[in-house]
Amino acid sequence: MKICYLDLYSGVSGDMLMGALVDAGVPREPILAALESFGLEAKFEFVKVRKKGIAGTKFNVYAQDDAPHRHLSKILTMIDAASIPDAAKERAKAVFQLIGKVEAGIHQMPEERVHFHEVGAIDSIADIVGVCLGFELLGADKVVASPLNVGTGMVETAHGRLPVPAPATAEILKGVPVYSNDARGELATPTGAALVASLASSFGNMPAMTIRSIGYGAGTKELPMQANMVRLVFGDTA
């Protein structure tokens, strides 16, 4: 059985997972082609970077987003129209539906009235769709994740300054083992949290496996004590 282990020692975001998948050997061409099929005015790229001396891959999105507040129904329609496999579509829609359910609960409104702020922007849509397609291309039968480092302190959001983890992130991570060390700031984004909660079937230490490839996905933060990266380990169950 093919197995994927996500080492979330520096948190998680959509772009970090995207970079880790490509760094581990998932081909970037079909991912870029799929994202371009959305018809969004954006440029997508994968670049090699270093964090604390460790080489990894960073996924960048350059866009002039004129509609950052999209409703859930609009995003689901965009995904249905995209040129990606049905399994990846269903996975991506499930991630957005999870976020929509959480946001509806927090704001006490019907899910159809929820509109996304940061998560509705082009970069977050690209992260979620790209990661879901990337895992289809990876071909893992099972995804296991480590406990998640969520960071500490405060974060600026569309609703003002909020404690880390932000309310939506905390709700998404119910049932997921989390912790915080001395790393300041938001290490787990709502997008990253929703992807991990949807993709991982279990959490804990690295399972017994024969390693085939390893990928490091870089985030944007520069942390003083550790590399801001997600490590993806792919192989066969031992």
Over 90: is that where the pLDDT of 105 sits?
no
Query: In the chain, how many domains are there?
Result: 1
- CA dist., res. 147 & res. 17, Å (int): 15
Q: What's the whole-number mean pLDDT along residues 85-111?
A: 87
Q: Which residue has the tokens 């060390």?
A: 181
Over 60: is that where the pLDDT of 119 sits?
no
* Averaged pLDDT score across all residues of the chain: 91
| Residues 142/212/60/190 CA torsion (nearest 10 deg) | 30
- CA dist., res. 24 & res. 15, Å (int): 14
Its domain, for residue 205, covers 2-237
- Nearest 5°: phi and psi at 60? -115, 145
* pTM as predicted: 0.93
Spatial CA neighbour of 232 closest among 213, 208, 219, 218: 213
Over 70: is that where the pLDDT of 66 sits?
no
| pLDDT of 233 | 98
